[in-house]
Amino acid sequence: MSIPTLKNLNIVQTVVDWLDERVPLKAAVEFAGHKEVPVHKHSIWYYMGGIAALFMGIQFATGFLLMFHYVPTFEGAYASVQAINMQVPFGWLIRSMHSWGANVFILVLFIHMFSTYFMKAYRAPREFTWLSGLGLVGIAMVFGFTGYMLPMDEIAYFATKVGVDVAGESPFIGPYLAEFVRGGSEIGQVTMNRFFSLHVIALPLAMMGLFGLHATLIQLQGISEPESIQKLPKAERKYEKFFPDFFKKDVFVWFAVFVAFMLVVTMKPWGLGPQVDPAAMAPIGIKPEWYFLSQFQALKLFPAKILFFDGVHVAMVFIGTVFGSLAVVPILDSTGKIPFISKFATVYGVIFFIGWLFLTIWGSL
Amino acid sequence: MFPVWEVPNIGSGWVIGLIAVLHVFISHFAIGGGAFLAFTEQLAYKKNDDRIYDYLKKHSKFFLLLTTVLGAMSGVGIWWAIGLASPNGTQTLLQNFSLFWAVEYIFFALELATFLAYYYTWDKLDRKTHLKLAWIYIGISYFTLFAINGILTFMLNSGGWDFTKGNIGDAFFNPSFWPALGLRMFIMMALAGIYAFFTLSREKTMDLDVKAYLLKYSAKWLLPAVILGPLFVIAYLFTLPEPTQQVIINGLSTIGVGNFSIMAKAIFMTMVFAVGLFGMVLAGPYLNPRAFNTSFAVMLLAAGFGFMFTEEWSREMMRKPYVVYNYMYSNGLRKFEVDKVNKEGFFNHHKFAGAELTTLKPNDELGKGQLMFRYQCTSCHTAKGNGYRSMKVMLATRDKDAIKNLLTMMKENHIVDNKGVAKTMYHGYMPPVVGHQDEIDALATYLATLNSDPAKTTTAKVESSNS
Ligand code: HEM
């Protein structure tokens, strides 16, 4: 670095240079610019990962703030959430953002998952990007489940109870699993401790770690192109640098999505039901959150007994297999060179998507 | 008094609101966009750059089509809508400002004529003369802004103006006049920039460097709003009536439960839209003009419309429950008449309602109550369904006695002690219910039938827990 004289002193440049000698800034920017984003008519799906990242950020930030006032006890939780909603300045806002955000986050993840699936972005060398992504959806859904219980209003309590009871129906391990999750035979303070520490410590760490892997892989491998674009002659394929070009578009879209999000958050602030009375009967028609509805509905469709097996057990194995197939089918199609498997993956995806949508809607009726 | 206009389910408020905001969104462009044309033409003249001239010709065509066709249609739409929904409000406005409206119309005609002259002489006049036309257009359109601003601010904040013998000049230059004028100007300039993004994004043949240059240039039209806007907002808030200020401050931090939650929500969203627009313009046309396309431009227009909507809506809410502050309520009731109507009885006082009452059977409590509701509440509420401020939803589980209590409270709505502290929590957003006790009881009877299905009310309770 040359010593600045009064004549050529440029403050910004000097600071940047000083920093760059200690922290490899320019190398980082160059690394980020190294990745190229294809520009074509399906490019809109490339925003989904970024939007998911935005909501991950919103969840971490608002969750952190909620912890300033939330009291994780079986008896005190409800009152603390009530206070957040009514007394804490802007508490209503933070809570509404966190609760709506959880739902929008998962919705965006589903869109991201299906779009990368249908663009066949999971193909070699991106198998681990896909698998880490699946892990992230899984974590997000557990986030949702554990978070849902925390306000301890009527629906929170009973939806959790139903959820844990369903898990308890899994073959072989079911009862042990339910017992372990509850920390006893009933939902109580110990359950709360477990849900809370999962929700605020274990899951965030897992999500950050897995997202780190996901993002690093993407950075190293670049963004894939769908087949239809790969077939085009080189001259017709356009690219732009991820940083700063695509990133600025990302930021634009973030602001747009954020405003739309805040519209819902503000106009329909997240409510709080009546306080739970665990001794009372569960109100009729308790349903899980929408992202568990497809599984919930599927469960109901199985008869009580199938041959020698319990219907529920068969159902649990079936549902597990269907969701597990999301990790298997893309791996089978990872070369993309076997036309039959490639076709099969597409058709399978369509059936999965329609089935999932259908069951979710049916379940909500 | 006139009959009341009813729009099933959406409620007349929303209809007026949408048409009005569309009109505002366009008519603000007629002024801000005019300034944009003039300043940009000045720039083209100075640089002697044909490429900017070419763009301005296209932009002015867009301007002409939008402001005349859509602008005029929505303008007529507004009068039609407020005329029907609140004839008394319109009457007061016309009476007090007839001179201004007349002048306004003359200026509007002048504005249009000047713009037509401007538009059709692009290639006929020499550049210097043409530029002068642009400045004349600004002068005229700026005057319309001036006039409209006086009227709108008066409706929100009539100060201590006396309706019988006050001086019209004092009404016009009311305390909010200057801050509001500044704010409108900044908003108009910002909108001019946003519309320019749109026409620029449609340019397919333009030189990319010129396009990038003009996008960055248009982005700078948002600067006054960004830098001076917040200061003027604060100044403006200080000129509002004290109770309105209080409601805003309390409402914002406790939006979920505050009495005036809707107003607080509208104000809050206005701020969110402003911040969002700022971020979008910065990341989009300003920092990344080369990647800018029509999708981004449409998103910016949508955000701009959202801003206008929430901003105008906040202004409307601040004036609730009045149409003309401290003088006439949204349902047409005049403040000074309240005691008189309570003494005379509502149906004796209100000719149209009274006439309709005679068409009912003598003991039709329900019909009478429904009439009360039509005339006193529908300017802000729908009855059934999940529509705009639906009574069915808001009353939920309340039974007839609870509703009677509520109406009794609403009757005392306008009573404040000498410090301005209200006697009831409904003060500040609903007009008082007026009429004899039996008339009010009929209203209670009617309201109680809206939710008489007990099965429905219990499920509503469970569902409301996560919404
Ligand atoms: C915390 C949750 C997640 C975040 C923040 C995230 C973020 C991102 C980002 C920023 C990208 C690059 C831009 C794009 O293609 O959209 C990306 C790509 C990708 N993501 Fe995710 N993602 C998440 C979850 C998932 C999930 C649930 C899946 C699928 C199961 C998934 C699969 C992929 C794949 C296969 C790519 C590569 C796309 C390509 O190269 O064309 N991700 N992700």
Q: Does B139 touch chain A (CB under 8 A)?
A: no
Please check the confidence at residue B8 and state whether its pLDDT lies above 60: no
Q: Which of A76-80, B74-78, B96-100, B177-181 has the lowest mean pLDDT?
A: B96-100
Nearest Cβ partner of B253 from A90, A249, A256?
A: A90
CA distance B89 to A318: 66
Instruction: Say yes or no: B256 contacts chain A, CB-CB below 8 A.
Output: yes
Has residue B416 got a pLDDT over 70?
Answer: no
Dihedral sign of CA atoms A94, A100, A106, A111 in order: negative
Continuous segment of H or E residues that includes residue A39: strand A36-39
Alpha carbon distance A282, A363 (integer Å): 19
Average pLDDT score over chain A: 92
Nearest CA to CA, how far is B257 from chain A (Å)?
A: 6
Residue B214's closest CA among B62, B103, B55?
A: B55
Q: Do B462 and A283 touch (CB under 8 A)?
A: yes
A211 Cβ below 6 A of ligand 1 = yes
Q: Residue A38: beta bridge partners? A: A239
B466–A270 CB contact, under 8 Å: yes
Q: What is the pLDDT of residue B52?
A: 96
For residue A168 the two structure tokens come to 């308890």
pLDDT at B19: 83
pTM of the predicted protein model: 0.83
Q: Is the pLDDT of residue A127 over 90?
A: yes
**Whether pLDDT at B377 is above 80:** yes
pLDDT tens, residue by residue, B277-302: 999 999 999 999 999 999 999 999 99
**Distance in angstroms (rounded) separating the CA atoms of residues A353 and A116:** 13
B253 located within any domain: no
Instruction: Give the 3-state secondary structure of residue B379.
Output: coil
Question: B288 to chain A: which residues are within 8 Å by CB?
Answer: 244-245, 248-249, 252
CB atoms within 10 A of CB B368: 25
Q: How far apart are the first and last CA of chain A?
A: 68
Whether B177 maps to a domain, the answer reads: yes
d(CA B460, CA B455): 9
**Residue B173 gets which letter from DSSP?**
T
| Closest to A67 measured CA to CA, from A147, A8, A138, A6 | A147
Interface probe with A: pick from B259, B462, B464, B467, most Cβ of A within 10 Å: B462
The ligand 1 atom nearest the CA atom of A221: 40
CB-nearest partner of B283 from A96, A251, A274: A251
Cα B174 to Cα B97: distance, rounded to the nearest angstrom: 14
Residue B423 pLDDT grade (very low, low, confident, very high; cuts 50, 70, 90): low
A100 touches chain B (CB under 8 A): no
Cα–Cα distance, B467 to B446 (Å, whole number):
28
SS3 (DSSP) at A62: helix
How far apart are alpha carbons B52 and B30 in whole angstroms? Answer: 20
Taking the C-alpha atoms of residue B436 and residue B331, their distance in angstroms, rounded to an integer, is 18
Q: Is the pLDDT of residue A250 over 50?
A: yes
Chain-centre distance for alpha carbon A178: 24
| End residue of a domain, out of B242, B260, B293 | B242
The alpha carbon of A106 is separated from its chain's Cα centroid by a whole number of angstroms, namely 4
Ligand 1 lined by A122 (C-beta under 6 Å)? yes
Please state which architecture CATH assigns to domain A287-365.
Orthogonal Bundle (1.10)
DSSP letter at B83 equals H
Tally of structural domains, chain B: 2
Sign of CA dihedral B258, B260, B262, B264: negative
Is-contact A225 A38, C-beta < 8 A? yes
The answer to the question of residue B307 being in a domain is no
Q: Who among A85, A249, A267 is closest to B291 (CB)?
A: A249
Q: What is the mean pLDDT of residues A161-168?
A: 90
The mean per-residue pLDDT over the stretch B267-276 comes to: 94
Angstroms from A92 CA to nearest CA on chain B: 6
Same domain, B77 and B205: yes
- A255 contacts B279? CB cut-off 8 A: yes
Amino acid occupying residue A277: D
* Predicted local confidence at residue B459, as pLDDT: 39
Q: Give the pLDDT band of residue B162 (cuts 50, 70, 90).
A: low
Chain B residues 397-436 with CB within 8 Å of chain A: none
Closest atom of ligand 1 to CA, residue A211 = 1
Query: Is the pLDDT score of A186 beyond 50?
Result: yes
Sign of CA dihedral A58, A60, A65, A71: positive
- pLDDT of A271 reads 87
User: For residue B134, how far is the Cα from the chain centroid?
Assistant: 29
| Record: contact B254-A285, CB cut-off 8 A | no
pLDDT at B11: 57
- Cis (ω within 30 of 0) for the bond into B87? no
Query: Does the pLDDT of residue B90 top 90, yes or no?
Result: no
In this prediction, residue B457 carries a pLDDT of 41
Contact pairs from chain A to chain B, CB under 8 Å: 90
Chain B environment of A262 (Cβ under 8 Å): 269, 272, 276
Instruction: Quote the tokens at residue B54.
Output: 């070419």
User: For residue B265, which residues of chain A lie inside 8 Å, CB to CB?
Assistant: 266-267
Confidence of residue A65 (pLDDT cuts 50, 70, 90): very high
> What's residue B455's pLDDT?
43
Query: Which residue puts its alpha carbon closest to atom 5 of ligand 1?
Result: A53
Residues of chain A with CATH 1.10.287: 287-365
The domain covering A42-274 belongs, at the CATH homologous superfamily level, to: Cytochrome Bc1 Complex; Chain C (1.20.810.10)
Asked if the model's pLDDT at residue A6 lies above 80, the reply is no
Grouping H, G, I as helix, E, B as strand and the rest as coil, residue B334 is strand
Residue B414's CATH number:
1.10.760.10
Our mutation pick for probing the ligand 1 site, out of A59, A136, A221, A228, counting the most ligand atoms within 8 A of Cβ, is A136
What spacing in Å lies between the alpha carbon of A291 and ligand 1's midpoint? 19
- Residue A80 in this model has a pLDDT that exceeds 90: yes
User: Residues, chain A, total?
Assistant: 365
Examine residue B88 and state whether it is found in any structural domain, yes or no. Answer: yes
Question: Would you call B276 and A255 a contact, using CB atoms and an 8 Å cutoff?
Answer: yes
Domain end point (choices B242, B264, B289)? B242
> Are A92 and B280 a contacting pair at CB < 8 A?
no
> Is the Cβ pair A267, B269 closer than 8 Å?
yes
Is A262 close to ligand 1, i.e. is its CB under 6 Å away? no
- CA neighbours closer than 13 Å in the CB half-sphere of residue A211: 18
* Residue A120 Cβ contacting ligand 1 at under 6 Å: no
Is residue B70 domain-resident?
Answer: yes
Do residue B349 and residue B219 come from a single domain?
no
Split at pLDDT 50, 70, 90, the class of B73 is: confident
Nearby residues of A184 by Cβ (< 8 Å), 6 or more positions away: A190, A191
pLDDT for residue A191: 95
- Please check the confidence at residue B4 and state whether its pLDDT lies above 60: no
Confidence of residue B456 (pLDDT cuts 50, 70, 90): very low
Q: What's the CA-to-centroid distance between A118 and ligand 1, angstroms? A: 13
Q: Give the mutation target among A39, A116, A141 for probing the ligand 1 site: most ligand atoms within 8 A of CB.
A: A116
Give whichever of A146-155, B137-146, B230-239 has the largest mean pLDDT.
A146-155
B238 and B378 within one domain: no
Q: Give me the residue from A86, A245, A259 closest to B272, CB to CB.
A: A259
CA of B265 to the centre of ligand 1 (A): 34
Question: A147, A143, A99, A58: which is closest to A271 by C-alpha?
Answer: A99
Per-residue pLDDT averaged across B120-137, rounded? 93
Can you tell me which residue has the tokens 């160059």?
Answer: A30
- Answer whether residue B438 is part of any domain: yes
Q: Is there a single domain that holds both residue B30 and residue B158? A: yes
| Domain range enclosing B419 | 343-466
Choose the residue to mutate in A48, A56, A106, A112 for probing ligand 1, maximizing ligand atoms within 8 Å of C-beta.
Answer: A112
Give the residues across from A306 on adjacent strands.
A309
Q: Return the closest-CA partner of residue A99 out of A212, A264, A328.
A: A264
- The pLDDT assigned to B262 comes to 75
Asked if A273's CB is within 8 angstroms of B283's CB, the reply is no
Residues in chain B: 467
Distances, alpha carbon B169 to alpha carbons A44, B96, B151, in Å: 55, 11, 11
- If you average pLDDT over every residue of chain B, what do you get? 82
Q: For chain A, give every residue range classified as CATH 1.20.810.10.
A: 42-274
Residue A24 above 90 pLDDT?
A: no
Say whether pLDDT at B156 is over 80. Answer: no
The sign of the torsion formed by the CA atoms of A261, A263, A264, A270 equals: positive
Does any CB of chain B come closer than 8 Å to the CB of residue A287?
A: no
Q: Which of residues A132 and B340 earns the better pLDDT score?
A: A132
Q: Is the pLDDT of residue B12 over 80?
A: no
Q: Is the CB of B30 inside 8 Å of chain A's CB atoms?
A: no
Do A251 and B467 lie within an 8 Å CB cutoff? Answer: no
Partners of A36 in the β-ladder: A241
The segment with the largest mean pLDDT, out of A179-193, B17-31, B346-360, is: A179-193
pLDDT confidence tier of residue B337, bands split at 50, 70 and 90? confident
Answer yes or no: do B208 and B352 share one domain.
no
Other C-beta atoms lying within 10 Å of the C-beta of residue A67: 12
DSSP state of A198: I
Q: Same domain for B235 and B383?
A: no
Among the residue ranges A135-139, B95-99, B379-383, the one predicted with the least confidence is B95-99
Arithmetic mean of pLDDT, A206-230: 93
Write down the residue that tokens 């982005």 correspond to: B219
3-state secondary structure A135-185: HHHHHHHHHHHHHHHCCCEHHHHHHHHHHHHHHCCCCCCHHHHHHHHHCCC
Cα separation, B64 vs B71, whole angstroms: 10
Most confident segment among B68-72, B197-201, B428-432: B197-201
Domain endpoint, select from B213, B242, B271: B242
Q: What does the pLDDT read at residue A284?
A: 80
Q: At what angle do helices B261-281 and B294-319 cross, to 10 degrees?
A: 150
- The complex scores an ipTM of 0.90
pLDDT at B2: 47
The 10s digit of each residue's pLDDT in B249-270 is 777 766 544 445 677 888 899 9
Interface test with B, best of A266, A268, A281, A284 (most B CBs within 10 A): A266
Phi, psi of B140, deg, nearest 5: -70, -45
10 Å Cβ neighbour count for A24? 12
- The pLDDT of A338-358, averaged and rounded, is 95
Residue of B350, B426, B340, B361 whose CA lies nearest to B4: B350
pLDDT of residue B258: 44
Where are the extended beta strands (E) located within B57-179?
none
Residues 6+ apart with CB under 8 A from B83: B90
Closest to B225 (Cα-Cα) out of B307, B153, B295? B307
Spatial CB neighbours of A56, under 8 Å, sequence gap ≥ 6: A105, A207, A211
Confirm or reject: Cβ of A109 under 6 Å from ligand 1: yes
Angle between helices B294-319 and B11-47 (to 10 degrees): 130
The per-residue pLDDT for B463 is: 38
CB contact under 8 A, B257 and A86: yes
Site of tokens 């601040």: B318
